[in-house]
A = this chain, B = another copy of it.
Amino acid sequence: MATISDVAKLAGVSVSTVSRIINNKPHVSPRKAALVADAMTKLGYSPLQAARQMRGSGSQTIAVTVPYITNPFFSELVAAIERTADERSYKTVIVQTFGQKSHELNALEFLKTNQVDAVIMCAIENDWDLIKQYSQYGLIGVCNEYVADPDVLMVHADQESGMYAGTKYLLNRGYRKLAFCTGQQDIRFNDNIEDLNSDRYRGYLRALREFDLEPSVEWQFTDVSTIADGQRVLQRIASMKDRPDAVIAGSDQVAAGIIAEAQTLQLKVPQELAVLGFDDQPLSQVVAQPLTTIHQPIHEIGDAIANMVADELEGDTIDTRQVIMPLSVVVRQSVA
């Protein structure tokens, strides 16, 4: 069956214009209205049928996918989504993917079986082309992570600028030997990829290069995301002959593990090693050296995507399909 995106493409207008026409909203030029009407006829697109399909079984349920619910960033994000969904009278079910493609597809299959009306993805494991096929069965929204697709409802933070600002902050404080931690398996980086990890790495590189620095391979830590991972990172750093003077932890969890292990090994934070967190979770205030970290507007992100998805499920016109929120450095005590 044709989708609203197909209609928009054939008519040569935006999805939001098609949506405005279907919902009889003002401010649509007669020329565009004619193009859309024509495209709808050609494609056999029926707004009513599409709406019924979009609303699924009327399960009034939204599934939210996260990699690991034990990561507080994701549990807070899900809680924010669910609070707003609840206000809008939608039930929420949370699906963990454990970072596995097959588990993510399980959640998307819930659309097909009408167990849910919409899926909000907080991370993305499969190729977008595959995921997108499920939009014929229901609505898919994306938050935190992002993809290059102008039709999809999407809310995320400006990861490139956030990591740039954090790295720049360390450089401006005099640090030059900056270690970098990431939760991903490998540092995938090329200029054509638009995703959270690539953008963060891009921000890190941009700041380094302003100071004529290049990243040191020895100080890049991959597949690092828990407190225990942070403890292991610090052990590796402590054993190095040439140690970094600061570490960009990639998450508050990892930063907390690094600081706890530094305390155990009597390595002084921030005097011997500065630690920069990411997320600004409640945890960041209870570690031995409260974290200087990058604040993510978790509640605003969750609230925005839940409202956008509920609006679309209810047939409202959505003028802004993609929202990007700023990140900021929060200064506490883990950087001198």
Contacts and interface: CB of A to CB of B under 8 A. Distances in A.
Interface residues of A, number: 38
Contacts of A267: none
A93 interface: yes
A231 to B, nearest CB: 8
A79 B70 contact: yes
Interface string A212-247: 000000000000001110000000000000000000
A336 interface: no
Interface in A262-305: 282-283, 285-288, 290
B227 A285 contact: yes
B79 A96 contact: yes
Given A92-B96, A93-B93, A256-B286, A75 B79 contact: no
A94 B91 contact: no
Contacts of A76: 70
A68 interface: yes
Interface string A50-82: 000000000101010000111010011011001
A203 interface: no
A5 interface: no
A23 interface: no
Contact of A94 (B94, B228, B286): B94
Contact of A69 (B86, B94, B227): B94
Given A68-B79, A227-B286, 5 more contacts: A92-B95, A93-B95, A228-B282, A256-B283, A288-B288
Which 10 pairs across A and B sit closest by C-beta, in order of nearness? A93-B93, A94-B94, A260-B286, A256-B286, A288-B288, A227-B282, A69-B75, A70-B75, A115-B115, A70-B79
5 contacts: A86-B103, A94-B95, A286-B287, A287-B287, A288-B288
